[in-house]
Chain A
Amino acid sequence: MPRRAIFTLCCTLLGAASASAHPEIEAALGRLNARIAAAPTEAGAYIERGELYTRHEEWTAAEANFLVAAELAPAHPRLDRARGALALARGEPASARQMLDRAVAVSPTDHEARVLRARAAAALGDTAAAARDLAVVLDALPSPPPELILFHVGLLPPAAALVQLEAMMARVGPALVLQLRALEFEEATGRVDAALHRLGTLATQSERPETWIRRRGDLLSRHGRAAEARLAYAAALAAALALPDWLRTSPDTRQFIAELRPLVNPST
């Protein structure tokens, strides 16, 4: 059978797998099938089809497409990343890492490949390697999202994590989830005053400061500073009582106030 005919057959078989259930995959598959029918030796289209199947968790179909791509263009720059992503999604971090090593070697600025490799390394327990990859990506991205920053600091010891969090917040701004994580690290490393200061800042930045002020009280209370805690609870209560009527009388605010009163006056 001539080579072209083999690929035409491949394209028919590989593009047909159990897609009927999902209209979303069906339409995209239709377009890729047409592209492959028109140019059956274009490896990129097989890679895209494999990636489509990966996204829809059709592992076998994805792998079959990558195999065809590998035969057509073994050195295709996207192939290793695509296969690495598939292996990682299938829960095979060791083989994912091998492929992603090759992908990063070929394209050191492929941030997606590095993030995938970091996930593979983290899954294998090699947190140092994962952290190294993420540091490269975080440095390179103009505006790294909190998810990536949290992934990175989660791989570091608390003190180093705190330094990194502060550095990232200086760059991208004090995103709420980064502040929350910094609070956890501060408390874990015994930096209670730093945490109190952070909660104070969060309170002044919020339109609804009462919950942050209450957290100050909780933190003080956890660390045996009862008198200061009571003051914080009193301030939280005052903030709640200062809300406009329609908010102060809402069920959640009423409950909040009811919970605070005994904390302000423990004897009553």
Chain B
Amino acid sequence: MNTRLLLFALAVFAAAPATDAATTILRGPYLQSATPTSLVIRWRTDTTEASVVSYGLERNALTSNTKAEGITAEHVVQLTNLKPGTRYHYTVGPVAVPPPTPATEKKSAAADAPPKNGVFSFVTPPVVGPAKPTRIWVLGDPGTKGKTQEAVRDVYYTFTGKKETDLWLMLGDNAYPDGTDADYQKAVFEMYPQTLRTAPLWPALGNHDAKSANSITQSGVYYDIFTLPTRAQAGGVMSGTEAYYSFDYANIHFICLDSHDSDRSAGGAMMQWLKADLAATQRDWIVAYFHHPTYTKGTHDSDKDSDSAGRMNDMRAIFLPVLEAGGVDLILTGHSHVYERSWLLDGHYGKSDTFAAAQHVKQTQDGRADGTGVYKKRRGRIPNAGEISVVTGSAGHAGSATKPPPLNHPAFFISLNEPGSFVIDVDGLKLDAVFLNDKGAKRDWFTIVKE
């Protein structure tokens, strides 16, 4: 930059309504709708101001700026033309960060180690298709705001250490009791600030979220807070709604369904979209997630028609056959505040008394390399090759200890009434998963390998 330009830039920044010392970031920044070349950064301030993200490849050289239109307290800025699989450093605020002078460059380099001045970083998703080691953190029903939620979170932070979370899923009931803005503030934004600003969060709608949101009008707190792909921006087929959507990450296809509020009939829009989405994907792995479990004998009972107004029946009898025919590998649900992990299953769409292991269990091993063996599937889109169904709805609380849930559904290899979260590592054609309880113990683990 020549001297005249530098002086001009400095003058502009000096004249700009400099960061008001009183302005406080109340929420975020948090990352949404990440694709290999774009990403949405959102945050909330206590006063209205311009929405600017300054970013760059070097922590002390945030040379690019993107500004959203208008003055607001709810900031939504989309970065575009990013490089896939690349680390970007960024900061948010009302004015662009000035380009470094030799003096500031030296100063910030000296103090580079711990994050300061709110400079954060994220890594863009890799190019879609080729495999890339991917860590996924899964939280079901986390939003209790209590000590248990904190303990589950801290166990994961210790477990993952320096290994970065590439993306994280929330399976609904993200903020108790009513999914209000204040509930989300405490249960999500004040609970996971570091993950929110470094890894894109992909949520599903739960019944508690739906108390303050409406899928049919796409309005309310949940829909205001999250920016989700309605136009297949992140891969998959265009759903036209944030209530259900899909996206790709490396060689994994993720499908989020709305088990609470959208039409769950066989001829409904969500089903038509799901069928087309499954038919269109070319990814090695298909992971589906939604709130209401297909099977559970935890704090909910999938055998009871009246429980959750039949939503579990619908997801099992109507959606599960389509997911299985579409070659789904893993189904993640919450709602029941326990951990239940199935055998490698296919074709069980009735109540638990119709479960027949000889018919519905595709592979009888425990899925563990240190046990009776990992699950093996053929690579490709194989209909009805079996999936693992995981209910992991205890990231905020487990069932009662004094009146424990029955946990006796025969579809499950293991059932635990313990708080915890679920972690998935995908490395090429190998998928490893582990359930970590709130004390830091690995309480379940399994592996699926594709050949």
CA distance A22 to B269 in the complex (A): 29
Is B80 an interface residue, CB under 8 A from the partner?
Answer: no
Among A23, A141, A247, A252, which residue has its beta carbon within 8 angstroms of that of B383? A252
Q: Which of A56, A177, A251 has the most B CB atoms < 10 Å from its CB?
A: A177
Is A259 an interface residue, CB under 8 A from the partner?
Answer: no
CA distance A149 to B299 in the complex (A): 37
Is B239 an interface residue, CB under 8 A from the partner?
Answer: yes
Task: Provide the residues of chain A in CB contact with B218, threshold 8 Å.
Answer: 141-145
B239/A206 in contact, CB under 8 A:
no
CA distance A172 to B269 in the complex (A): 15
Among B238, B268, B300, B380, which residue has its beta carbon within 8 angstroms of that of A175? B238
B138 to chain A, nearest CB (A): 21
Given the interface pairs A146-B241, A176-B240, A207-B281, the reply to whether A246 lies near B380 with Cβ below 8 Å is yes
A24/B240 in contact, CB under 8 A:
no
Among A145, A150, A178, which residue has its beta carbon within 8 angstroms of that of B243? A145
Task: Provide the residues of chain B in CB contact with A211, threshold 8 Å.
Answer: 279
Given the interface pairs A150-B269, A176-B237, A251-B383, the reply to whether A208 lies near B217 with Cβ below 8 Å is no
Is B304 an interface residue, CB under 8 A from the partner?
Answer: yes
Task: Provide the residues of chain A in CB contact with B282, threshold 8 Å.
Answer: 207-208, 243-244, 247
Among B238, B263, B281, which residue has its beta carbon within 8 angstroms of that of A208? B281
Is B408 an interface residue, CB under 8 A from the partner?
Answer: no
User: Which of these binds chain A: B101-109, B305-313, B350-358, B430-438?
Assistant: B305-313
A143/B280 in contact, CB under 8 A:
no
Contact string against B for A residues 176-215, beta-carbon threshold 8 Å, 1 for contact and 0 otherwise = 1110100000000000000000000000001110010000
A147/B268 in contact, CB under 8 A:
yes
B306/A21 in contact, CB under 8 A:
yes
A232 to chain B, nearest CB (A): 18
- CB contacts under 8 Å to A, within B293-319, are 299-300, 304, 306-309
Contact string against A for B residues 103-141, beta-carbon threshold 8 Å, 1 for contact and 0 otherwise = 000000000000000000000000000000000000000
A141/B272 in contact, CB under 8 A:
no
Task: Provide the residues of chain B in CB contact with A57, threshold 8 Å.
Answer: 306, 309
Is B177 an interface residue, CB under 8 A from the partner?
Answer: yes
CA distance A67 to B274 in the complex (A): 42
Is A77 an interface residue, CB under 8 A from the partner?
Answer: no
Please give me the residue from chain A that is nearest to B236 by CB atom.
A207
Task: Provide the residues of chain A in CB contact with B309, threshold 8 Å.
Answer: 55-57
CA distance A184 to B54 in the complex (A): 48
B240/A250 in contact, CB under 8 A:
no
- CB contacts under 8 Å to B, within A242-261, are 243-244, 246-247, 249-253
Among B207, B269, B304, B380, which residue has its beta carbon within 8 angstroms of that of A146? B269
Among A137, A172, A177, A180, which residue has its beta carbon within 8 angstroms of that of B230? A172
Among A28, A112, A176, A246, which residue has its beta carbon within 8 angstroms of that of B239? A176
Chain B residues with a Cβ closer than 8 Å to the other chain, count: 42
- CB contacts under 8 Å to A, within B275-289, are 276-277, 279-282
Task: Provide the residues of chain A in CB contact with B306, threshold 8 Å.
Answer: 21-22, 56-57
A247/B280 in contact, CB under 8 A:
no
A24/B268 in contact, CB under 8 A:
no
Task: Provide the residues of chain B in CB contact with A23, threshold 8 Å.
Answer: 299-300
CA distance A204 to B230 in the complex (A): 19
Task: Provide the residues of chain A in CB contact with B304, threshold 8 Å.
Answer: 21
Contact string against A for B residues 195-230, beta-carbon threshold 8 Å, 1 for contact and 0 otherwise = 000000000000100000011111100000000001
Task: Provide the residues of chain A in CB contact with B277, threshold 8 Å.
Answer: 176
Task: Provide the residues of chain B in CB contact with A44, threshold 8 Å.
Answer: none
CA distance A112 to B110 in the complex (A): 57
Task: Provide the residues of chain B in CB contact with A252, threshold 8 Å.
Answer: 381-383
CA distance A246 to B263 in the complex (A): 34
A28/B381 in contact, CB under 8 A:
no
Given the interface pairs A247-B380, A249-B380, the reply to whether A208 lies near B280 with Cβ below 8 Å is yes
B216/A145 in contact, CB under 8 A:
yes
Given the interface pairs A27-B177, A56-B309, A208-B280, the reply to whether A250 lies near B269 with Cβ below 8 Å is no
Is B379 an interface residue, CB under 8 A from the partner?
Answer: yes
B308/A174 in contact, CB under 8 A:
no
A24/B308 in contact, CB under 8 A:
yes
Contact string against A for B residues 369-404, beta-carbon threshold 8 Å, 1 for contact and 0 otherwise = 000000000011111000000000000000000000
Is A262 an interface residue, CB under 8 A from the partner?
Answer: no
Please give me the residue from chain A that is nearest to B207 by CB atom.
A24
Knowing that A55-B309, A141-B217, A176-B238 are A-B contacts, what are 4 other residue pairs whose CB atoms are under 8 Å apart, sorted by A's residue number? A142-B218, A144-B218, A173-B231, A253-B380
7 cross-chain pairs, A with B, having the tightest CB-CB distances, nearest first: A175-B240, A250-B380, A145-B241, A146-B240, A177-B269, A173-B231, A250-B381
Q: What are some 9 contacts across the A-B interface (CB < 8 A)? A: A28-B177, A115-B216, A143-B241, A148-B216, A173-B240, A208-B280, A208-B282, A246-B380, A251-B383
